[in-house]
Amino acid sequence: MNLKTLYRLRMMRRRHQLRGLLHRHELKPVSDRTAGIDPSDILVFTTLRNERIRLPWFLNYYRDMGVGHFLMIDNGSDDGSADYLHDQPDVSLWSTRASYRAANFGVSWINHLLRRHGTGHWVLVVDPDELFVYPYCDVRPLRALTDWLDGQGLPSFSAMLLDLYPKGPIGAVPYQEGQDPLEIACWFDSGNYMMRRNAKLHDLWIQGGPRSRAFFSDDPASAPALNKIPLVRWQRGYVYVSSTHALLPRRLNHVYEERGGEMASGCLLHTKFLPVLTQKVAEEMRRREHYAGSAEYAAYRQGLAGGLDLWTEQSERYLNWRQLDTLGLISRGNWL
Amino acid sequence: MSFGVVMICHTALDRVAQVARFWAAGGVPVAIHLDAAVPDAAFDTLRRSLADVDAVGFTRRYRCAWGTWSLVAAAQAGAEMILSRAPHVGHVYLTSGACLPLRPVADLADYLAACPDTDFIESATTADTEWTIGGLDIERFTLRFPFGWKTQRRLFDAYVDLQRRLGFRRRIPPGLTPHLGSQWWCLSRKTLSAILTDPDRARYDRYFRRVWIPDESYFQTLARRHSDRIESRSLTLARFDALGKPYVFYDDHQKVLRRSGFFVARKIWPGAEGLYRGFLSPDLERSRAEPDPMPLERLFRAATERRLRGRPGLYMQSRLPRRDREQGKTAAPYSVFQGFGELFEDFGGWLAQQIPGDVHGHLFAPGRAEFAGGQRGFRGGLSDSARLRDYDPRAFLTSLIWNSRGTRQCFLFGPRDAQEINWFIATDPQAQISVISGAWVVPLFRAGGDFAAIRQEATRLHRIETRHLEILRSVHTQARLRIWTLADFLDDPATPLQAIIDEISPRRQQPLTTLPRMVDLTGFGGFLQKLRNQGLQPRLIGNFPVGHEAMLRGPVQPAARNT
């Protein structure tokens, strides 16, 4: 690594830190319960907008996993999300009406909160429609994984997005509050992913899955990135660069083996394709606050209008992490 | 006769108390060494929580750091405490705070009572040890290591290097033969006393203070000097992973730990409530089993294999090998047929009858990926979109093979297809490539039409295939390769087909009874001559005389099989 690259990366990191500082004033504390955080707690950080119906399942899912506290940013919900979160004893809530896009799609806000409250903790940065699974998650709590990562000297953990979808048109089966989203969206694509290494930040760029084949087969380069590094032992000076796809310093992005072996990895089960997507799409098309001019949402709108069904004969029904391990989507690595 | 236990601890003190209580309840004296880095308040809590247990004592506290003398000092202090306080004790067992007894105390007491003079300590000469970390074996004993391996790696490496270059060597004290082994030993009173009261102990201690990782060599070396009966194995199940970190056990390992027959296991995750509850239960069943590492060794080996080698042919979020570091470019053997689709009618249909597996059309066709059976999608959710495929042809092919593990994949290829994948396939030992060069001319011949256009297209295809053949014939090619010119192939089509099929399914014992139907080549010789007359030199097609096609009109006979 030459000095020039080193300098450029450092400047990039500084820039993202600075953006976090600049946007911190946009966050108004609604309920700040961070004083109750234990130094050993594993923390979840989330940005959301109008996700009320998903929240009960989301919170319980991560509570069961052993998460100690939730730090959440509500970006102008009007569906009661904020009131609900305000009542949760293990949630600290900030709210903002500022632009999601101007805050680098929420990353600047999250970076600020991570710096303030995440330092020294294992943090998990996930959206309300992302359910984290990792090897042995049925028998070992999240703390077992983070302790093991500590023992291995690994500061970060990879968990690519795995898009789940229902069989039949999206919206055919309604989703009830508190219901396991996997009861409706339980199908996935098991082996159509493409990945390459990003020379600048050394993160992987993973694309593929149902969104690539259904919405982007004519323009694969525009398909959404699926690589994610949501679990990090946070230190002062770390920053997320774009969503949770990549971090700086870039050694945090070295979550893959390049010499043939497998490192341990997990998945974020992405339960985006629930009936609530229909309202989301309408709203996001109006707001245009999403990545790449909300092109993704435009594609969804078109698909949804046509009674979009992502299911095919080749779809795989989700069972558990062992299935993902066997299929080669995640790996136990050398975790026994 | 009984035994005593030394526990070297620094964390998870509630678990330490739990285990100490278990030993004590079985009548075993325990000496706990607590790292001096642990705050006094925590020490007091631990001491108070064990205040009612007389059999537990606390040694002088050293500040312990990985790979340093402090760990030996702690073990010495613990051993001395047991030996002096419990005169009835015949063996001393060294454990850590992350160790968990797997069997009733009485099992171990009986086991040790049956061999009162035996020392259970893994101890091998450096020449016989492969597991040393950092590539240092005998040099652990002959160099100096003032810098921390974990904290000052660069200085550590540089200083080792410097000493090597200068030819620096420490003198090993006479009478000692360096031995290495697991830290977790169980020594007899006789041997341990001899080590601790050796008149030369001060000299040896001074020497070992400067040895690297002395906790893996101090007792291991000195036991060789004093013991008459060494069993070079540990009664503690403790292994290190591919990166030199200890394996950790969780609740879901309960069964395999129980079956192992070991007396103690390490490391146990402090949160493994099920293991602590299960193995520290007073009504654990007794047995006379010998420790048997095999079932666990299989797990360890599999984990090491996964971490260092991974699953061949798999490309995923945490395994993305650089080129030529793949350790298997694809997951399974597959076959590529070039020219066969052009020369035979429904070659795929015929092939599908000969071999078990999926026979695709032109997977890399310009319009779409022609999956077997005309499907729009294939295993794993692969799409037939040409754009998606050409966006990352390597991912397309490797996914196809990976998703179809257990089912042979065959597909057609040719100069009309996307060519970007050629290098990858050529350098893949799993690929079986069969080429009839120049066969692309057959569809041109059959389609007829404007000869100038045919001539132009022939030139284009000729150039593409020539480039492909250059790749296939390069020194880098690893695929199983067969190339015939069209003329040579037409001379005797049955033998090559038989050879290809035999290679795909070697267990198939009968010769081919049917051959694919060749397309009608009436007038083909004349067509080629016309191409030549127009100035094209179709070298790839081979030497095909005018009038030759007369021979081809009859049905092709299966080759006599050579046995």
The residue among B308, B343, B370 that closes a domain is B308
Q: Is residue B45 one of the residues assigned to a domain?
A: yes
Q: Please give the residue range of the domain that contains residue A93.
A: 3-327
Q: Is the pLDDT of residue A296 over 80?
A: no
Q: Cβ–Cβ of B318/A213 closer than 8 Å?
A: no
- The pLDDT, as a whole number, for residue A1 is 62
Q: Do B363 and B252 fall within a single domain?
A: no
| Spatial CA neighbour of A331 closest among B468, B274, B234, B305 | B305
Are B252 and B342 found together in one domain? no
Judge: B243–A218 Cβ closer than 8 Å, yes or no.
no
pLDDT at B134 over 80: no
Who wins on pLDDT, A100 or A328?
A328
Number of domains making up chain B: 2
Tell me how far apart the alpha carbons of residues A253 and B123 are, in angstroms, rounded to a whole number.
41
B65-101, pLDDT tens digit by residue?
Answer: 888 899 999 999 999 999 999 999 999 999 999 999 9
- The verdict on residue A335 lying in a domain is no
Q: Which of 285-344 (B) contact A at CB < 8 A?
A: 299-300, 303-304, 306-311, 314-322, 325-328
Pick A259's closest partner by Cβ from B325, B375, B379.
B325
Q: Residue A336 falls within a domain, yes or no?
A: no
Is the model's pLDDT at B135 over the cut of 80?
Answer: no
As for the ipTM of the complex, it is: 0.94
Cβ(A136)–Cβ(B250) below 8 Å: yes
Say whether both B165 and B207 belong to one domain: yes
What pLDDT score was predicted for residue A277? Answer: 83
Average pLDDT over every residue of A198-210: 94
Q: Give the angle B321-B323-B325 at the CA atoms, nearest 5°.
A: 55
Is the residue at B557 inside a domain? no
In the prediction, which pLDDT does B427 show? 95
| Phi and psi, residue A285, nearest 5° | -65, -35
Considering the domain architecture, whether residues B282 and B349 belong to the same structural domain is answered as: no
Residue A68 lies in a domain: yes
* B215 plus B264 within the same structural domain: yes
Chain B interface disruption, residue of A142, A189, A211, A262, most B CBs within 10 A: A262
Assigned domain for B340 exists: yes
Quick check: is A160 in a domain?
A: yes
**Number of folded domains that form chain A:** 1
Residue B262 lies in a domain: yes
Residues 6+ apart with CB under 8 A from B337: B347, B351, B410, B411, B412, B413, B434
Give me the pLDDT at residue B562, please: 44
B507 vs A30: which has the higher pLDDT: A30
Residue A206, classed as helix, strand or coil, is strand
Mean pLDDT lowest for which of A36-45, A164-173, B182-191, B432-441? A164-173
Give the one of A136, A152, A256 whose C-beta lies nearest to B317's C-beta.
A256
Does residue B115 lie in a domain region? yes
What is the distance between the alpha carbons of residues A196 and A191, in angstroms, rounded to a whole number?
A: 16
Q: Choose between B509 and A167: higher pLDDT.
A: A167
The last residue of one of the domains, among B290, B308, B326, is B308
* Mean pLDDT, all residues of chain A: 92
> What pLDDT does residue B146 have?
84
A257: closest chain B residue by CA: B319
Mean pLDDT on B277-286: 92
> Sign of the C-alpha dihedral, residues B188, B193, B195, B196?
positive
Q: Angle at which helices B40-49 and B13-25 pack, to 10 degrees?
A: 30
Q: What is the mean pLDDT of chain B?
A: 90
Residue-number span of the structural domain to which B465 is assigned:
334-552
Residues of B in contact with A316 (CB under 8 A): 381
| Residues B295 and B344 both lie in one domain | no
Does residue B483 share a domain with residue B345?
Answer: yes
Neighboring chain A residues of B248 at a CB cutoff of 8 Å: 147-148, 151, 336
pLDDT at residue B557 tops 90:
no
Which residues on chain B are in Cβ contact (under 8 Å) with A153? 245
Segment A106-127 shows an average pLDDT of 95
Which of B243, B321, B383 is closest, CB to CB, to A217?
B383
Chain A interface test: which of B317, B323, B327, B409 (most A C-beta within 10 Å): B317
Cis check for the bond before A39: say yes or no (omega within 30 of 0).
no
User: Is residue A20 scored above 90 in pLDDT?
Assistant: no
Nearest to A258 among B269, B270, B320 (CB): B320
Closest CA of chain B from A150, distance in Å: 11
**Is residue B454 packed enough to be buried (19+ CB in 10 Å), middle (13-18) or exposed (0-12)?**
buried
Instruction: Identify whether A243 is part of a domain.
Output: yes
Nearest chain A residue to B388 by CA: give it.
Answer: A217
A332 in a structural domain: no
Burial class (CB in 10 A: 0-12, 13-18, 19+), B412: buried
With cut-offs at 50, 70 and 90, classify the pLDDT of residue B563. very low
B313 located within any domain: no
pLDDT for the residue numbered A87: 95
- Using a CB-CB cut-off of 8 Å, the residues of chain B touching A218 are 385, 387
Cβ proximity of A160 and A182 under 8 Å: no
Domain contains B315: no
Q: How far is B388 from chain A (nearest CA, A)?
A: 5
Instruction: For residue B245, give the nearest of A151, A220, A313 by CB distance.
Output: A151
Q: How far is A128 from chain B (nearest CA, A)?
A: 22
Going by C-alpha positions, the residue among A182, A227, A192 that lies closest to residue A318 is A182
Handedness of CA B31, B67, B108, B251 (dihedral sign): positive
Interface of B with A in 381-440 (CB under 8 A): 381-383, 385, 387-388, 391-392, 395-396, 399, 402-403
Same domain for B376 and B281 = no
Tokens, residue B317 = 């979020």
Asked if pLDDT for residue B132 goes beyond 60, the answer is no
pLDDT mean over B201-226: 92
Contacts of A134 in chain B (CB under 8 A): none
Q: Is residue B321 part of a domain?
A: no
A334 lies in a domain? Answer: no
All residues of chain B having their beta carbon less than 8 Å from the beta carbon of residue A334 are: 241-243, 303-304, 306-307
A312 contacts in chain B (CB < 8 Å): 376-377, 381
- Is residue B202 pLDDT above 90, yes or no? yes
Which whole number is the average pLDDT over A244-250? 93
Say whether both B286 and B347 belong to one domain.
no
Using the Cβ of A210 and the Cβ atoms of chain B, whether some distance falls under 8 Å is answered with: yes
What pLDDT score does A294 carry?
64
At A334 the three-state DSSP class reads coil
Residues B412 and B501 reside in one and the same domain: yes
Residue A106 has pLDDT above 60, yes or no: yes
User: B245, A218: Cβ pair inside 8 Å?
Assistant: no
Residues 215-254 of A with CB under 8 A from B: 216-221, 227
Each residue's pLDDT tens digit, B149-175 = 888 889 988 998 898 898 888 888 988
Contact A336 B253 (CB under 8 A): yes
Quote the distance between the C-alpha of residue B325 and its chain's center.
13
Which has more pLDDT, A129 or A291? A129
